[in-house]
């Protein structure tokens, strides 16, 4: 059974792609997240809004690392420790 995950993609007025994610990202749905992230970054810089994500596993962090040169992250404060320990916050512009 897959963990609930909702993804939506929009384009902002300045042309930046916004990928909004809610739910949890784990082994059961990380491939869906990774595909959405790959698709969103094809157009250039993408804001990945994780403010409604309550949990992400190492697979999700790996998917984010794959696109460090093309993403900015909006993050749920609960995720800051894991993103900091992974080193992602030092490589990607991150905001709450």
pLDDT in tens, 67-91: 999 999 999 999 999 999 999 999 9
- Asked if residues 88 and 63 have their Cβ atoms less than 8 Å apart, the reply is no
Give the angle 80-56-24 at the CA atoms, nearest 5°.
120
Residue-level pLDDT at 80: 97
User: What is the reported pLDDT for 70?
Assistant: 97
| pLDDT tens digit sequence for 16-72 | 999 999 999 999 999 999 999 999 999 899 999 999 999 999 999 999 999 999 999
Q: What's the whole-model pTM score? A: 0.96
The sheet carrying 5-11 orders its strands as 5-11, 17-25, 46-56, 71-75, 94-95
Pick the CATH number of 5-95 from 3.30.750.24, 3.10.580.10, 3.30.450.80, 3.30.9.10: 3.30.750.24
């Amino acid at each position: 059974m897959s963990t609930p995950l909702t993804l939506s993609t929009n384009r902002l007025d300045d042309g930046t792609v916004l990928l909004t994610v809610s739910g949890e990202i784990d082994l059961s749905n990380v491939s869906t997240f990774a595909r959405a992230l790959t698709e969103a970054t094809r157009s250039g810089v993408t804001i990945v809004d994780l403010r409604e994500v309550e949990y992400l596993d190492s697979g999700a962090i790996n998917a984010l690392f794959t696109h460090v040169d093309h993403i900015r992250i909006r993050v749920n404060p609960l995720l800051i420790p894991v993103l900091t320990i992974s080193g992602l916050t030092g490589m990607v512009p991150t905001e709450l």
